Chain A
């Protein structure tokens, strides 16, 4: 992806990429001691909010690759998240009984959770990506519901507790600020580099016009499945982080309303804008917490705010721009905005 600099206007005349890389690595390195500090100094409620925002960011950015950037309407993101969360939860709980916990172990389990998510993405993606628009949405939604039904029924796999309807509890809590921050950075940087590389144009091309993209020689199936698998991988990772942060898992947390929540983040942030997704994930996680004081009217106000936000900024908070782009640099909007026949 080294030749991307000349290819995209954003990079031209900016810092050389090694400087940015070094900066990112230093940032992640700082997060380690910072995380220790947070654990002892910040009040657990606030830390909980920060971690949940972090996990929401990973989910929103990864879904943005599928939904916003490639234009494939998926309602199954919570299902992929569940795959990762349960992989990690079951292994971590079983392992905690038989042995201790260590950093390489946790890294391994999180990676595995991501891989399981990605495999599910591949399995679901290859057949269903032949479907378009709402039909794809229904198929992925069905997948999410199937995962939920199966999870409520399975009590154990090969001697490892899964929990069934009661859920899995007392999972060792490995996750801290560092892990969420590090995985968040990996997710954002990976997807950023991917979509703003020369090859990454293919994802946008599919969203704008699949037939035209295919005519230009883009292997649409390959790119759609790629987007699906990468998105599902990070959803799995986010699930693993969530499981080992709260220490509890219940099948009900991964039903279609969870998927809908993530879709809302992507659209509200601006479909296709990565920084937009980050911003929206933070706002939509933080907002309901701030409304706790109004008690039972909380969700009424929240839903009204959601409608108003979409009416005021239909293109999302950032539209198709990234946070620091000027309007001129934005990728031009497709001309045909009238509903297609």
Chain B
């Protein structure tokens, strides 16, 4: 029982990271219907910016919370700028082309960022440890039943989880309750009609990209603090977050969070409870199998709207 509870917590803790990246994915996809392959790499750039900022701030000796908010802010702003540049030069010229074409430029951008950051003069291929801004420690520890082994939750897990829920609420509010959100939804239905309604579609799309990239940066900073910074960290994380977004129903904000958490839970339970020990190496395969099955029964994801085909 203690094992199961700890595994569920582990799953939610991994899932919260996927959810955070998936949020940005789903924002961009919801508007552009584009698999932004470079999203995972923007998240990596966020982590790298945070790494440099944190190393620099640490020397200045500012209080921790000032450091922390400056790191988050800096990374988010840097990535928003990067997102703007990517959208402006790699996607906008191709907006009226088949989507597969933008997908290829997205792959190009992704390869470019990965290889650029592997250069020694930029960041280098070696993974680096994030400077310890906040000491990771056990925030909550409790016992289940009479088990002598405690269930542990770290402070970063708590921060991560709270952040995901908060961002989900804020984003939903932006999309559903603000004028920009209204325009955003209009653009996501149809570009040309939205333009006829007096919406500056270019600006709305650029805004979405910047917002999505800033979200990626936040995820990157959290992840860098929990694990480490390396130029290829976006590859698998991006892939899994994309899968999570699709499972949750791509384009849906609560769906992204749900998909991410579900994905983390499936992984953790497969590895730590369901599969026998020496088969835990199969867990990723089994996770993908579960995802294919979910898709077969819910072809538009769990919270995705089923779009009937129109003639």
A121-154 at interface with B (beta carbon < 8 Å): 127-128, 130-132, 134-135, 137-139, 141-143, 145-146, 148-150, 152-153
Select one of B97, B100, B118 contacting A337, CB under 8 A: B97
Which of A9-17, A36-44, A189-197, A309-317 makes up part of the contact surface? A309-317
1/0 per residue, CB under 8 A from B, across A165-178: the answer is 00000000000000
Query: Which residues of chain A are within 8 angstroms of B243 by Cβ–Cβ distance?
Result: 138, 141-142
Complex Cα gap A337–B203 (Å): 21
Residue contact B108 to A128, C-beta cutoff 8 Å:
no
In the complex, what distance in Å separates the CA atom of A303 from the CA atom of B250?
27
Cβ contact within 8 Å between A152 and B107: no
CA distance A212 to B104 in the complex (A): 28
Contacts of B108 in A (CB 8 A): 303-304, 306-307, 310
A340 CB contacts on chain B under 8 angstroms: 33
CB <8 Å contact, A135 and B104: no
In the complex, residue of chain A having the shortest beta-carbon distance to the beta carbon of B112: A303
CB closest residue in chain B, given A73? B100
Interface hits, A269-313 → B, CB 8 Å? 271, 296-297, 299-300, 302-304, 306-307, 310-311
- Looking across the interface, which residue of chain A has its beta carbon closest to that of B109? A307
User: A300 to B96, Cβ gap below 8 A?
Assistant: no
Contacting residue for A149 out of B110, B285, B296, CB 8 A: B285
Which residues, 266 to 289 on B, are CB-close (under 8 Å) to A? 281-282, 284-285, 288-289
- How many angstroms between the C-alpha atoms of A256 and B207 in the bound complex? 31
Q: Given A142-B291, A268-B104, A337-B96, check contact A135 B300 (CB 8 Å).
A: yes
- What are 14 sample pairs from A and B whose C-beta atoms fall under 8 A apart? A135-B299, A135-B301, A149-B281, A210-B309, A267-B103, A267-B104, A304-B112, A307-B108, A310-B104, A314-B94, A315-B97, A315-B101, A339-B32, A341-B190
Interface residues in chain B, defined as those with a beta carbon under 8 Å from any beta carbon in chain A: 32-33, 35, 90, 93-101, 103-105, 107-112, 114-116, 118-119, 189-192, 239, 242-243, 246, 250, 281-282, 284-285, 288-289, 291-292, 295-296, 299-301, 307, 309-311
Chain A residues in contact with chain B, CB under 8 A?
67, 73, 127-128, 130-132, 134-135, 137-139, 141-143, 145-146, 148-150, 152-153, 210-212, 215, 256, 260, 263-264, 267-268, 271, 296-297, 299-300, 302-304, 306-307, 310-311, 314-315, 337-341
